[in-house]
Amino acid sequence: MRITWLLGQLRFNRQGLIPAVIQDARSKRVLTLCYLNRQALTRSLAEGKVYVFRRSQNRLMLKGETSGHIQRIRQVHVDCEGKSLLFLVQQQVAGCHAGYFSCYFRRLGARGTLVVRERRVFNPKAVYR
């Protein structure tokens, strides 16, 4: 794949990152928003699994490397300005480290509070020791 050409189409920010929306290919639910640098994108495309650049640890990380809840890439889309990506993925188990399928498990309710409307898929304490 001509990764060099693709990288040239994208506009990474000053920190060398580009945001990627991760959407479950089957349910179409939005799972999370993550950030990739050039190296993370290159490796994601080479392996077909989402790698991110974790700023807090300053390193490349396979999404799900601890939990095994990896995201297999089915489609990659680029926005009109080359400033963000959209990955359609096959999510293993769940996408959120809090134990929910999507990181967006809290919804703003009519009273202005955040309401959890879904069940946990796994127990984080058992998965992340």
Which of 14, 108, 123, 125 is in the footprint of a copy of itself by CB under 8 A?
Answer: 108
Which of 53, 91, 96, 122 is in the footprint of a copy of itself by CB under 8 A?
Answer: 96
Q: Mark residues 71-90: x for contact with a copy of itself by CB under 8 A, - for none.
A: ----xxxxxxx-xx-x----
The least distance separating a copy of itself from the CB of residue 38, rounded to whole angstroms, comes to 15
Q: Which parts of 13-108 fold into alpha helices (H)?
A: 38-47
Residue-level length of the chain: 129
67 Cβ neighbours under 8 A, 6+ residues apart: 93, 97, 122, 127, 128
- Under the binding rule (CB under 8 A), the answer on residue 123 touching a copy of itself is no
3-state class of 18 per DSSP? strand
Find the part of the chain contacting a copy of itself (CB under 8 A) among 50-58, 64-72, 97-105: 97-105
Do 89 and 112 form a contact (C-beta atoms < 8 A)? no
Q: How many residues bind a copy of itself (CB under 8 A)?
A: 39
